[in-house]
Structure 1
């Protein structure tokens, strides 16, 4: 698998981003579609609304959130394989809206992609 980067959707787009994929179920607040500079909006790979609400971006819940999110992702191997294929073709940047750059679903998604790739 090639390089998978992470970036807030609110940060400026750069050529080095490669393919820009929004991995949020809901459109980011205050962001105009034309300003996002997306190549793809992959809503289906985002955590379920129930899991997102349970987590509430609480760092204390991070380990359990990652476990539950991995379980959800395991039900959609097609989405993970699609992301792996895209990353093989060139850099991919997973875009997220959360303020917390360390505890968000894009971080967990990238870890899941990397773990599956190392097996």
Structure 2
């Protein structure tokens, strides 16, 4: 399995390997032509209800991570393209959140690594 990295969509560096946007909504101020994506894994993003409950509040992150992992476990098909890409080489997960430590891409990256075993 290749390395799985995460990166803010607004960082102006070139992501490595296969690149997937992992937000449910398209990031504000970013044109589709600005991103070189291998896929938009919108179904792998947290549900709207969970995202709104979390509200990017760091104190809610541990509970958010638990709930989000439960959602991912209920829909394994949503992460299949990400796992397939990781089996072939490096993968970068792009996200829009300002907080680089408390966001869904952190949880998703760890979940993918756990799935690969």
- Normalised to the residue count of structure 2, the TM-score between the two structures is 0.93
Equivalent residues of 1:21, 1:39 under 8 A apart: yes
Q: Which residues of 2 match residues 104-119 of structure 1 at below 5 A?
A: 104-118=103-117
- Tell me how many residue pairs correspond in the alignment: 117
Deviation by residue 1:41-63 (Cα, 9 ceiling, x = unmatched): 11100000000000000000000
Q: Which residues of 2 match residues 56-67 of structure 1 at below 5 A?
A: 56-67=55-66
Q: Structure 2: 5+ residue runs without aligned partners?
A: none
Could you tell me how far 1:110 is from its partner in structure 2? 0.6
Q: Structure 1: 5+ residue runs without aligned partners?
A: none
Equivalent residues of 1:2, 1:90 under 8 A apart: yes
Corresponding residue number in structure 2 for 1:3: 3
Corresponding residue number in structure 1 for 2:22: 23
Equivalent residues of 1:22, 1:38 under 8 A apart: yes
Corresponding residue number in structure 2 for 1:45: 44
